[in-house]
A and B are shown apart, each in its own frame.
Chain A
Amino acid sequence: MCDSCGCGLPGETVTFRKHGEEHQHHGAGATHTHADGTTHTHTHDHDHNHGHDRTLAIEQDILGENSLLAQRNRGYFEAKNVFTINLVSSPGSGKTTLLEKTLTDINDIACAVIEGDQQTMNDADRVAATGVPVLQINTGNGCHLDAEMIHTAYTELKLKNDSLLFIENVGNLVCPALFDLGENKRVVVISVTEGDDKPIKYPSMFDTADICVINKIDLLPYVQFDVAKCKEYALQVNHHLEFFELSATTGEGLEAWYSWLHASIKK
């Protein structure tokens, strides 16, 4: 499974592209920039009896580097009052459609979008059609976005103060759960064409999310999805979750979502 994944492998080409821009490679995007070591503490509990096996006590969080970079992003967003949303879901839940609709309807707040997909500019092109600045990250074979990629992306996007930044993560309900990007809120999207037991099948993602959007509710008459049951499962995994039930296609339920976005930026 991992040989097909290879996320972040050296030489793996993570690319950052603006709408309409030619294909280009960013070496620094794939190769994570690591801190110089002064920022974390290490205990070297060993004697210098070289020549023999010796054990060094490290006690370091393996994802510490990403967490550190995510905190740097968070500080930047806070300073500029950029409210950042990390949209996560399985492929096909309607994240991009929700974004298109949201960006079209919200005219009074400056928005920007970072799109994450393994390949293609398709989503960035769709977002660009709304007139909102967008940057596409193609992760190659990578299965998630990480804090360093986000840093590179927003530096290129030149975010405005008092704005909204949407990050559409790679469609994958497993891996992105582990990688903090520095977002204010993580929003997991589930559509009613999926199983209502997704929250308990993929609990990590629902556990780390703040908001759960149940999308495509216009299709409820045609599918066997039980909204109450889905919410119950999701709350069993994460009792802090807040829900929005909506249809990005028909617009049903979007008002509550927009009110929440407006309230978030003013805070």
Chain B
Amino acid sequence: MHEMSIAMSIVDIACKEAQKDGAKSISVIELDVGKLAGVMVDSLMFCYESVCKGTPAENSKLLVNEVTGMGECLKCHFEFEIDSFMALCPQCESYEVKIKQGRELKLKAVTVNE
């Protein structure tokens, strides 16, 4: 549900950056989205298209790099890939896991032209 406001933030940041650069239009916006960021990529794509209308980003492409989740067990310090907040350490079976990676929600780059 919050994907609409996230899409709006993305387009807003990108348009400001493009304007600062003196560019007229945006062709690609690239994001890093962590698996645990709480964002549905399909839903974000859908919102993105409608948010772009009437902005320099109209008809631009949204590239999403999915960032895998990484956790560290606080009991045995084993590091492993996680895909949910309910992460169980495969080595010692503890749920005390610190999320080290996977919450990213970042605008990486914007490709602009004239």
Chain B residues with CB below 8 A from A7, complex form: 1-2, 4-5
**A2, A50, A235, A236 pick with most chain B CB within 10 angstroms:** A2
| Chain A contacts to B: CB under 8 angstroms | 1-3, 5-9, 34, 37, 42, 44, 46, 50-63, 65, 142-144, 146, 172, 174-175, 177-179, 200, 203-204, 206-207, 233, 235-239
Please provide the 5 A-B residue pairs with the shortest distance between their CB atoms, ordered closest to farther.
Answer: A175-B2, A203-B85, A8-B5, A143-B1, A5-B1
- B77 contacts partner chain A, Cβ-Cβ < 8 Å: no
Chain B interface residue number, banded: 35 or more
Chain B residues with CB below 8 A from A200, complex form: 86
Chain A residues with CB below 8 A from B5, complex form: 7-8, 142, 144, 146
Chain B residues with CB below 8 A from A60, complex form: 13, 106-107
Q: A57-B109, A62-B10 are in contact. List 8 more A-B contacts (CB 8 A).
A: A2-B50, A7-B2, A53-B111, A53-B112, A55-B112, A60-B107, A204-B36, A236-B86
Asked if residues B1 and A204 are in contact (CB atoms below 8 Å), the reply is no
Asked if residues B3 and A56 are in contact (CB atoms below 8 Å), the reply is no
Asked if residues B16 and A204 are in contact (CB atoms below 8 Å), the reply is no
What residue in chain B is nearest A208 (Cβ atoms)? B38
Bound complex: CA A2 to CA B21 (Å): 31
What residue in chain B is nearest A237 (Cβ atoms)? B85
Asked if residues A238 and B1 are in contact (CB atoms below 8 Å), the reply is no
Contact of B17 among A1, A56, A177, A179 (CB under 8 A): A56
